Amino acid sequence: MNKSDTSHHDERIANMSFASVYPHYVTKVEKKGRTQEELHEVIEWLTGYDAHKLKEIIEQKTNFKAFFENANLNENAHLIKGVICGYRVEEIANNTTRQCRYLDKLVDELAKGKKMEKILRQA
């Protein structure tokens, strides 16, 4: 199987609600000494969603497909590279899956203690 072929789980990811994954993001970063505010900063950088909009998305149990279709994806999102869940992010063909992995990668970097300007691709 091609390492950039995520077709076997694209639909599952697209239909998963952001609300079901969000608490795991919070736990992951807080366990490593980062804050929910920093997590929100990272999510807002990637998607344009502020804390108020995120709350709405969580309450509505918006799935990842709609989450990313309605997002204002950062123009530097393509700079997010590397391996997440065994896949090279920049090689994932499906848009929703790739964007979801962008978010996973940013959360990982935050949890690993990377400087915010590096995470937000400003350096």
List the end-to-end C-alpha distance of the chain, in Å, as a whole number: 35
Matching residue, tokens 């204002």: 72
**Is position 3 within any domain?**
no
CA distance 111 to 65: 25
Matching residue, tokens 């199987």: 1
Residue numbers of the domain that contains 70: 8-119
**Is position 1 within any domain?**
no
Nearest to 20, CA basis, from 32, 12, 30, 8: 12
**Is position 94 within any domain?**
yes
Matching residue, tokens 């940013």: 106
Of the pLDDT bands very low, low, confident and very high (cuts 50, 70, 90), residue 105 is very high
Tell me whether residue 92 is exposed, middle or buried, using C-beta atoms within 10 angstroms of its C-beta: 0 to 12, 13 to 18, 19 or more: buried
Query: How many Cβ atoms sit within 10 Å of the Cβ of residue 108?
Result: 19
**Is position 2 within any domain?**
no
**Which CATH number fits the domain that encloses residue 62?**
1.10.8.290
Residue 49 has pLDDT above 70, yes or no: yes
**Is position 24 within any domain?**
yes
**Is position 49 within any domain?**
yes
Could you say which DSSP state residue 71 is in?
S
Structural domain count of the chain = 1
Residue 3 has pLDDT above 70, yes or no: no
**Is position 46 within any domain?**
yes
Of the pLDDT bands very low, low, confident and very high (cuts 50, 70, 90), residue 4 is low
pLDDT at residue number 1: 43
